[in-house]
Amino acid sequence: MDRAIEWEDDLAWLKVQYSDGRLDSTGRASYERGMLGPVFPIHADLLADAGSYCATLAVTQNWDFSGLGFPVAARPDAALRNGTLTFVRSRGRTYGITCQHVVDHYRSVLAATGKSGSHSMRTMLNGFYIVEDRFTQPSAQVGQNPPDIAIRELHPGLVERLGKKSLDIDYMLEPPETIRHAYAVGFPETLKYNKPDGPGGYRVSLPQVQVLAELERRPDRRFTMFSELENPPEPVDYSGMSGGPIFWSTEDDWGILGIVYEGGPGSLVDSIYIYGELATPPIIRGWLDEVPLIWPSPPEVTTSAAPADDGDHR
């Protein structure tokens, strides 16, 4: 009988880019589209560690009610849906950002089963932690629809225990007016697979994808990243990247630009697009003003287990 092992973020990843990356004499990475095409620098810190600011957020089944007797603990299932959770920090508090449609899917699954404890949302690295549904959707700006964004406060110990980091938006630069490319990170759900782990066991593993693509201009609202690829990868459905961070980058600086809410191959085989909600530091701080606080004051960061009632625990 299979021995079900917890889910995990895969340490391997796929990078979708123009062509081969190269390091210049300063140690920073650049990608180029041929001799006469534009050169788009990616800061070395991002190239090495962009995935450390996000994790998978998967809808997982807790109990299997299919038998005739009592329900049994469900095994990990690569067919279940997932999004991406981005970690940010502001004014001493830690938050998780994903897309509202990811949270809506989880709620629809619960409604379909009619059992409030049938499924949960979990992260999947260094064990798995439940992320309770305490998400808030920011209000719409005048003349616009509400952003496809959902945010909740997290215990900062969760990010630490996952081996991840939070983007400190209080000290992060805004994107320059001249920015014409962006770098998106996430975990496409169609790449999930059962990874063997010991005799008769497996992990459900989720490879990370990083996408470099062009911008027509510095965005001031929802935006599209689009590029034609010289060396297109195997076809990938980028569903599951929803909620992942989109970074801007120069050779010397970088920061957050947006949150992925949709993406996929373009109409041409050798093209790719990513849609993003604009999420610069001032915009994110505005969203956070609407998020209910779980603790009366910022909690201390410790390595002990998070309180059992804070929603983020094994």
Q: Tens of pLDDT along 86-145?
A: 999 999 999 999 999 999 999 998 898 887 778 888 886 655 688 999 999 999 888 888
Q: What is the pLDDT of residues 224-266, one digit of tens each?
A: 887 765 555 555 667 778 999 999 999 899 999 999 998 766 5
Tokens coding 112: 């379909």
Residue 52: partners with Cβ closer than 8 Å, 6 or more residues away: 163, 164, 165
| Residue 66 vs residue 281, higher pLDDT | 281
Q: What is the strand order of the sheet 39-42 is part of?
A: 22-23, 29-32, 39-42
Q: What confidence tier does 213 reach under pLDDT thresholds 50, 70, 90?
A: confident
Provide the b/e sequence for 154-178 (b: ≥16 CB within 10 Å).
bbbbbbebbebebbebeebeebeee
pLDDT at 36: 36
Other C-beta atoms closer than 10 Å to the C-beta of 5 total 17
pLDDT score, position 27: 33
Supply the pLDDT for residue 187: 81
By three-state DSSP, how is residue 246 classified?
strand
